[in-house]
Amino acid sequence: MRVAIVTESFLPSVNGVTTSVCRVIEQLRARGDDVVVVAPRSRAAAPARYGGAPVHRVASLPVRQFDVGLPTPEIERVLEEFGPDVVHVASPFVLGARGLAAARGLGLPTVAVFQTDMAAYVRQHTPGAAGAAAAASTTWRWIRRIHSWADLTLAPSSAALADLEAHAVPRTALWGRGVDAALFNPAWRQDALAKALRRELAPGGERLLGYVGRLAPEKEVERLAELADLPGTRLVVVGDGPSRDAVGAALAEAVAASPARPNRPPVFLGSRHDDDLARAYACLDVFVHTGTAETFGQTIQEAGASGLPVVAPRAGGPVDLVTDGVNGYLFDPGEPGALRGQVSRVLASAAHAAELGRRGHELVRHRSWARVVEGLVGHYEDAIAGRALRRAEVETPAA
């Protein structure tokens, strides 16, 4: 199969969209499929190929540390020259919208992957309740319009699928995400470097409460302040982003202001990848997810594969990934103290925490990217068949 992938984000930028696109490329190439990628031009050094697939870069503008691809005619040229069987559009909004329009003009089948809740992002960054609501409504109208050009739109979770259906986005289906269980697994706890990092972070035997991910307003990492005075704990943050200073100040102040003897100050490990990221997970006792607008929650799967109990909001993608009392607990993001209460439940019993982590590992260790991409190829085939059927209906005159 020949697959063209048009993505709003790609290397060297690292985020959920980039990661899933990279895994898809790897698995498609392993199957023997031909792949081409269209991505925004980067201000930093960027690869011209990935996994054997050429990467065509189009003009972009920097917006909030992101390189936003511009909707240029280059996309039509790449698609026309490559002649794909299907066009995969990752998290379409600007560049992806042009990709869908170009594919439509060329009569190519398309699969759009809904991955970023742009309406929630716009709402959080628009001042005033009325203005935020209006901006979110306008954003959903644009999302509905561009996804209506796709033969199939895939959502990563039941919550995201419900949002698409509630806003009348047609032709939707569920497609989850894989996890690299070979990289993320409990065995890292026996690694010498992981043990050394653990001793450094918890010299007094503290229990480490950790977050992994981008530090940006929509991730709501400041919620960790609610955990600042839990006795014998320390906050650990892995990741970077525009909110690094604000989050650091909020968490440090919360710890220092504890009425009892303050815990050790929060520690920020910065961005980590591959083995270093796996070691960071291995050091933690509890994984805490904070964002309420996640369409999925890939770090929850990575934490589960690492054998960690998880506490996450009862909102969005985490609802599909965390079951109370099985692999962790969900908290009500609108209830003050709910996050603290659920983390306390995990910490109350070391045996219970270990059992939650064991079950979490069992739940996700078979969700390989190879299996998930096989399901994606099935969706590609559905889109191709659907496009052919609709074309036949148009071309065949009524009896």
- Whole-number Å distance between alpha carbons of 310 and 287: 5
Could you tell me if 193 and 279 are in contact, meaning their C-beta atoms sit under 8 angstroms apart?
yes
Q: Which domains can be identified in the chain, with CATH numbers?
A: 2-178+368-395 (3.40.50.2000), 186-364 (3.40.50.2000)
pTM of structure:
0.93
**Per-residue pLDDT tens for 1-12?**
999 999 999 999
Please identify every stretch of the chain with a pLDDT value under 50, giving residue numbers as ranges: 399
The confidence score (pLDDT) of residue 91 equals 97
Question: What is the pLDDT at residue 396?
Answer: 65
Q: Are the CB atoms for 317 and 159 separated by under 8 Å?
A: yes
Residue 341 has a CB neighbour count (10 Å cut-off) of 15
Give the pLDDT score at 397: 59
Coil, strand or helix at 367: coil
* 10 within 8 A of 21, measured Cβ to Cβ: yes
Partners of 58 in the β-ladder: 40
Query: What are the pLDDT digits (tens) for 26-78?
Result: 999 999 999 999 999 998 989 999 999 999 999 999 887 778 999 999 999 99
pLDDT of residue 399: 46
Q: Can you spell out the DSSP letters for 139-178?
A: HHHHHHHHHHTSSEEEESSHHHHHHHHHTT--SEEE----
Which residue is associated with the tokens 């026309």? 80
Question: pLDDT tens digit string along 118-144?
Answer: 998 888 778 888 888 899 999 999 999
